[in-house]
Amino acid sequence: MLYIFCPHCGSRSQNEFAYGGDATVKRPELNKEISDQEWNNFVYLRKSPRGKHLELWHHISGCRQWIKVERDTSTHEIFKTYKADELTE
C-alpha cells in the first residue's frame, strides 16, 4: 500500500485516495473548434510509461483535494507531490 504525501494533510495511506489518471492531459478550451482527432486524443489517448509519471490522485477520504503525484510506475517510488494549482517541474 502506497504512502502518499498530501500537500494539504501530510502523509497518508493509499486507501484514503482514489486514483485519477494521467495529470498531464489538458482539456481543450471551451467553445474551441477542434478536429475529431484532437478530441479523440484528449478523451481516449493516454501514455502508459514505465517509470516516472505525473498522475492525479483525489484525497477522497481526506481533504477532497485533487493532487498531482510524480510516481515511478514500476517501483512505486513517489518523488514529489503537488497541489492542484501548483506548477510541476
Which positions touch another protein (CB under 8 A)? 1-3, 13, 18, 20, 27-28, 30-31, 34, 36, 39, 42-44, 56, 58, 60, 64-66, 75-76, 78, 84-85
CA distance 21 to 42: 13
* Shortest spacing between CB 3 and another protein, in angstroms: 4
Residue 79: closest CA among 56, 58, 52, 50: 52
For another protein, give the closer residue by CB, 42 or 49.
42
For another protein, give the closer residue by CB, 49 or 77.
77
Give the pairing of strands 78-83 and 3-6.
Answer: unpaired
